[in-house]
Structure formats: C-alpha cells, structure tokens
Amino acid sequence: MTTYYSKDHEWVAVDGGVATVGITTYAQSQLGDVVYVELPEVGRTVSQGDDAAVVESVKAASEVYAPVSGEVVEVNTKLSDNPANVNEDPEGSAWFMKLRISNEGELSELMDEAAYKAYVGSL
C-alpha cells in the first residue's frame, strides 16, 4: 500500500485502485477537538479538489477535499457515532471514505511522506 499526501492535509492510502482518504495528524492538530463529521454518500462521484466531507471541531468547520477523482465506495460510519476518533487516530482507523480511483495519473500531483513533512515544516 502506498500513501500520498495533499497540500490540503488529506492522506491517501492506495491499494489496488481504491484510495482510503482521511485527514493528517497535522490537520487534526490544527482543528482541535473534533465534534462532528459529515461523510459523503456511497455512490457519489467526486473530482480531485471537490468538497467531499466536512469535519467540525470546537474551533472551526473545515472541508475535506477529494485528493483524487473517483466514486465513493465506502464511508467510515464509525465516525458519525464517535467523531473524536479523528483526534485519536487520524491516519489510521479514523479514515473518512474509500474512493474507486478514476484517474490514477492524479496521484502524481500528490506528495510522498518526506515531501509532506517538508511542506508542513515550511508552514
């Protein structure tokens, strides 16, 4: 499984043409305590850069953007019941959605872990 990162602080773990998407540890640290997550509907088609989900914290509400284009094939319904899981495990069990990638070429526009860490370090 290969993991990529977007400049909007989403992570993308790709396995066999399916991308699991969530927000990075950096993003959740900026948000603070997450109190609500709005997930997309299964079957929805998103384009790279589209608003795909919403995460709300005690500080602010923030969009989660689609880092690649595709069809939503699964959402993490556990986040609806326990949005605080985003604070506990943002780059693991607190994934937001799984997308069937429609354009794998878009992955080349994302960063690897080293590039993302350098990007965050420059903010």
Enumerate domains of the chain plus CATH numbers: 2-121 (2.40.50.100)
Alpha-carbon distance values, 87 to 9, 32, 47, 90, 92 (Å)? 14, 8, 27, 6, 11
What was the pLDDT predicted at 24?
97
pLDDT over 90 (residue 1): no
**Alpha-carbon distance 16 to 67, whole Å?**
17
Q: What is the mean pLDDT of residues 29-56?
A: 96
Of 11-15, 58-62, 112-116, the one with minimum mean pLDDT is: 58-62
pLDDT at 46 over 90: yes
Q: What is the pLDDT of residue 60?
A: 87
Q: What is the pLDDT of residue 71?
A: 98
- pLDDT at position 100, please? 98
Exposed e or buried b for every residue in 40-65, given b needs 16+ CB within 10 A? beeebebebeeebbebebeeeebebb
- Global confidence as pTM: 0.95
What is the signed CA dihedral for 75, 80, 85, 91, rounded to 10 degrees?
A: 20
Mean pLDDT score across all residues of the chain:
96
Closest to 45 in 3D by CA, of 66, 76, 62: 66
Under 8 Å between Cβ of 86 and 92: no
Q: What's the confidence (pLDDT) of residue 59?
A: 87
Per the CB < 8 A criterion, the answer to whether 99 and 19 are in contact is yes
